[in-house]
């Protein structure tokens, strides 16, 4: 429920700006004026890279693999070869590891940090990780593979979620503040006048 409220979080800031909408933590205002084609390209590349992470691990491990459709979830990489515990863990984590680490790089370097491609990439990365529990069951779950190999799927889910959120916060500097603090906004930015008495200027107490 907390995740759902954050994903669809709405914050009213003042009478002039009306509402700010956050989609998976990304302030939609940050997409104004951006090249939507580049943002879409970043999102698609992010999804494909996730699956390529799984395929790349199997390839480097000498395992056979194939792409398959995973309705209604899209693409998936599978193998018919037997895996040991370590291989199960690495196969499960490879997708989000590659996708999130590339997102970290894109959102760190100044030349790519604020590009529309990066916005699409990190937004899709966050969308995939935060919606993962409701999109996948135990038979179609990267983190269940980690558990199957003797790892801690819940811990790794938390780590990837944190990294994805951090990548988003680099795109939206005020994201952490807007999601964790109550704010008071008014026409003159102060709820009190100079002599200390309260001023009725339609102040808004805001909290996510």
Count of helices and strands (H, E) across the chain: 9, 7
Residues 6+ apart with CB under 8 A from 25: 6, 7, 9, 126, 165, 168, 169, 172, 175, 179
Question: Which residues on neighbouring strands pair with residue 184, listed in sequence order?
Answer: 205
- The per-residue pLDDT for range 156-190, each reduced to its tens digit, is 999 999 999 999 888 765 544 444 443 444 444 44
- The per-residue pLDDT for range 11-28, each reduced to its tens digit, is 333 334 445 545 444 555
Q: Which two tokens stand for residue 20?
A: 């700010």
Half-sphere exposure of residue 83, counting CA atoms within 13 Å on the CB side? 24
C-alpha–C-alpha distance, residues 152 and 195, integer Å: 58
- Strand extents, DSSP E, the chain: 10-14, 18-23, 26-27, 66-69, 75-78, 183-185, 204-206
C-alpha–C-alpha distance, residues 120 and 126, integer Å: 10
pLDDT value of residue 136? 75
Q: What is the model's pTM?
A: 0.69
Instruction: Identify which of 25, 22, 23, 3 has the alpha carbon closest to the alpha carbon of residue 12.
Output: 22
Instruction: Identify which of 53, 43, 161 has the alpha carbon closest to the alpha carbon of residue 98.
Output: 53
Quick one: average pLDDT of 1-16? 38
Least confident of 25-39, 110-124, 148-162, 187-201: 187-201
Cα–Cα distance list, 206 to 17, 46, 88, 110, 183 (Å): 14, 34, 45, 32, 5
CA angle 195, 197, 198 (to 5 degrees): 140
């Amino acid at each position: 429920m907390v995740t759902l409220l954050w994903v669809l979080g709405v914050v009213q800031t003042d009478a002039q700006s009306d509402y700010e909408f956050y989609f998976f933590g990304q302030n939609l205002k940050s997409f104004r004026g951006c090249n939507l084609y580049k943002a879409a390209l970043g999102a698609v590349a992010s999804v494909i890279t996730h699956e390529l992470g799984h395929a790349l691990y199997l390839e480097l491990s000498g395992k056979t693999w194939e792409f398959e459709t995973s309705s209604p979830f899209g693409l998936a990489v599978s193998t018919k070869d037997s895996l040991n515990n370590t291989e199960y863990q690495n196969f499960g984590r490879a997708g989000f590891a590659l996708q999130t680490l590339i997102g970290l790089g894109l959102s760190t370097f100044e030349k790519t940090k604020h590009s529309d491609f990066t916005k699409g990439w990190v937004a899709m990365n966050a969308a995939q990780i935060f919606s993962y529990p409701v999109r996948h069951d135990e038979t179609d779950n990267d983190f269940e593979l980690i558990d199957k190999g003797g790892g801690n799927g819940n811990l790794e889910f938390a780590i990837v979620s944190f990294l994805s959120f951090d990548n988003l916060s680099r795109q939206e500097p005020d994201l952490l503040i807007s999601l964790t603090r109550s704010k008071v906004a008014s026409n003159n930015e102060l709820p009190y006048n100079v002599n200390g008495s309260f001023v009725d200027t339609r102040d808004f107490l805001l909290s996510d």
